[in-house]
Structure 1
């Protein structure tokens, strides 16, 4: 038998490599599924309260090992520790708190109204776990974007196979360790390590549900494979999120918010503020404030630094190509540097870069960048701002800045986006009471909120009759029933129609 392939662990902030993690052999994947299905058969019979007891134990393990978790995330991604704790660890703890408060109610059978024509009957909806859920998670927030869907799938009664990103293998390995320490049942949460081949093999094995977070290109491939077996999916994909800043906005706040929205996690966020549109009358003033905020940012990995390194070298090549095309087309950099000046010998650090004099058709404006680069363009009117913001294949999040909240809400209602924020950036994703998901090429489906738990269930509709009557009016025989049914319908719906017209 050949030796397992291994993945090299690279610290992107130092480019040091001193550890390898074995990939999961393809031949083991069928066995992983068999174990998962066996674990599901037992887990689905547990009450929501019993499932919560395991998740609470996981929470306690995370508290006990908080510093260790943060260290692993920082070393594996190159991000600063403040971002590791606020954007990776905290959202997981928030998710657990949300589940503790809402899971039992979200998964309880709920009664719905029954039409008056079926008087005496009852209707309700119940939620049934799907089976084995495959979660494929990305490298930019390797703890949060793996754990949140995994926890929601578990609380809904499913078993889970997680395929974390091969770019951040240490976090994937540590997630496996956390579930072991929390003593989850054998086979309930299994972690398959590896790259595209492992992900493709896991998808081909026909899980009962797929939850994928990553690029639109990979999401399309997963959707295509899933469609062959009619496997339902949730796809959380990329973005090219716009910020619209109107002349009446608080410009100091807007500049600070835009800088954070563009450069947090070194711009490696699906909801990064990659396109800033500014009303012409305050364009130069805002640009000066944004430039000032950006130049104050500190790069490095110390506790007081603001921006860490990039995580994935391949993404830097995408940025270079986009910037080179923009510069050739007349764009200017007012912070940062042109691609040939980047020195990556000491780590994958890219300076936060503001680009002006761009136009809407440039790759830098249309394609996802996923790095610390932002474009700034002026607009003349509210209508033009909306048109520019919507001129994208993506629709994940948007941000509108104005002291006139009526106007801000009006603009938000016209933006083709799955999520929006007013006078702030990105934070809609951290409220677990709000459903989260994109439109257009930014994805299919929603998670978070009650919907985020129920998406991992089959929704079963039930119509109940006490069974005391021997027959129903719509059953055979039909002899002499037509006049009675016709009269009943005229009486029922004519009354409703008259009542409706009186109240309107």
Structure 2
């Protein structure tokens, strides 16, 4: 049985609808892939449902053994997978290898920690139920649907896939139409270690295929993409009351305090804002700098960015804009900011080409411009001075998004980070939280809800199961019609002793 869905058509048995994945750097065809219909998706989910019993019954140790084998396959073939990521996204090989390495580390953590996090463990029964031994364990939901993005086609979906698999679920994965080859590679490599059983399947296609997965007989869906598409996903999943995890991007901020290491902060801002051509949901788009160090910070920023360049050659810092329609969005944001009075420090609207966008830095950007309010998803930084860190936090939080961010400060980093309304913050580094497998990953507000990674990520793909076992007969038999008034009186006395206490309210 194959792990890849090869759809058929009811109109002509000899043909299958297909689409092409293209190299965004030059438009070359990377591969041709089938468009999975609703029937194909439903069939994949049915196969996953059948395989779920086998996968679940392997137990934590059995699943861990097979997931460790898969980890070895991916590691040994990392160069092959990185080449495919490079071709489908345009990102440099080194960046592709980095995201694969992070995914491997998360796979390793999830497989090894699933039993400790999800396995049965004893909890206190309390004095009233002292005759009971109480346990909680986390059971797999069944079949998980995953809809992945194109910007990090390995790392991001694997943050759902490997945690769902480690928890005992089977998975049907719909990759982005821009990176279908990567999605198929993952399913095919996993099929090798489970001897073709449909534990992880990939269905390729366009928006209709994703919609079909939302409407299919799955137990939960994990989605990463734009907020606009995320709302459509939620609406479709609501048809069957299918729960969802939504990771929908952000407008992340890097804050620079007056005591910060300015060279390190500038380097981090450039990397976080421009790596992968700025196509990073947790990447920096806004920078707020204490006015006392604004000028020296800008000098560091402009000096360092001179070495950064977009291109498709081996020496380029980052590649093309993967999704062609994003070019117009980036241009419109820059045009709006400049029209409203922003200063062009480096690049600007003229830096936007047909496939590539060169590094762009704006300063003194009006807070009501789209460059400050909407996700740009390009290699741009909007840098503004602030009088205090209180103002920096206030401006940071003045958005509907709440995904991630960073703070550079020697003394006050933790105090500032705790006040930022976001799911994740790094201090004196950028995006470090994403590389720590034990930390949860996710946002608030329009950045979505639910968590992947860490113990929270494992539990997202399970339901809590409570079990009690009576050790001996209760001293007070309360759950019986044979209960008498004397027992009720004793129960009332016990509750008073346990919870009555003395009032701590002030006397009037």
TM-score (norm 1): 0.93
Aligned length: 492
Are positions 1:217 and 2:232 aligned together? no
Q: Could you tell me how far 1:217 is from its partner in structure 2?
A: 1.1
Match of 1:288 in 2: 299
C-alpha contact 2:132 2:468 (8 A) present in aligned 1: yes
Q: Which residue of 425, 428, 432 corresponds with 1:423?
A: 428
| Secondary structure of residue in 2 paired with 1:274 | strand
Distance 2:151 2:207 in 1: 17
Q: What's 1:53 paired with?
A: 65
Work out whether 1:145 is the aligned partner of 2:156: yes
How far residue 486 of structure 1 moved from its aligned partner, in angstroms, is 2.2
Cα separation, 2, equivalents of 1:482 and 1:114: 20
* 2:5 match: none
Counterpart in 1 of 2:492?
A: 486
Give the conservation status (yes or no) of the 8 Å contact 1:4–1:24. no
Q: Secondary structure at the match of 1:481?
A: helix
Report Cα offsets for 1:307-350 as digits up to 9, x if no partner: 122211111111111111112112232112424x6432xxx221
- Tell me which stretches of 4 or more aligned residues in structure 1 moved more than 6 Å: none
Q: Following TM superposition, by how much is the alpha carbon of 1:287 offset from its aligned partner in structure 2, in angstroms? A: 1.0
Which runs of 5 or more residues in structure 1 are unaligned?
none
Q: Is the 8 A contact 1:61 1:181 kept in 2?
A: no
Correspondence 1:131-280 to 2 at 5 A:
131-280=142-291
Instruction: State how far apart, in whole Å, the 2-side matches of 1:60 and 1:381 are.
Output: 50
Distance 1:145 1:162, change over 3 A: same
Of 316, 336, 343, 2:327 maps to 316
- Bigger Cα displacement from structure 2, 225-234 vs 65-74: 225-234
Separation in structure 2 between the aligned mates of residue 10 and residue 267 of structure 1, nearest angstrom: 20
Deviations 1:265-305 (A, max 9, x none): 11000011000001112112111111111111133344443
CA distance in structure 2 between the partners assigned to 1:415 and 1:64 by the alignment: 40
8 Å CA contact 2:71–2:108 kept in 1: the answer is no
Within the candidate set 368, 389, 394, 2:396 is matched to 389
What are the residue-to-residue correspondences of 1:90-105 with 2, within 5 Å?
A: 90-105=101-116
Quote the Cα distance in structure 2 between the aligned partners of 1:469 and 1:386: 55
Alignment match of 2:93 (pick from 41, 58, 81): 81
Deviation for aligned residue 1:357: 2.6
Deviations 1:4-37 (Å, cap 9, x if unpaired)?
2222121112222263222113322221121111
CA RMSD for the aligned pairs? Answer: 2.0
* Cα-to-partner distance string for 1:212-235 (whole Å, 9 max, x where unaligned): 111111111212222232212111
Report SS of the residue matched to 2:289: strand
| Cα shift at 1:467 | 5.7
Q: Residue 460 of structure 1 aligns to a residue in which SS?
A: strand
CA distance in 2, matches of 1:359, 1:437: 28
> In the alignment, does 2:431 pair up with 1:442?
no
TM-score under structure 2 length normalisation? 0.93
Residues 270 and 18 from structure 1, CA distance in 2 versus in 1: closer, same or farther, beyond 3 angstroms?
closer
**1:190 & 1:445 partners in 2: Cα distance?**
23
3-state secondary structure, aligned to 2:376: coil
Distance 1:68 1:490, change over 3 A: same
Task: Tell me the distance in 2 between the aligned counterparts of 1:307 and 1:32.
Answer: 37
Equivalent pair of 2:363/2:383 in contact (CA under 8 Å): yes
Alignment partners' CA distance in 2, 1:388 and 1:250: 22
Distance change in 2, residues 1:18/1:48 (3 Å): closer
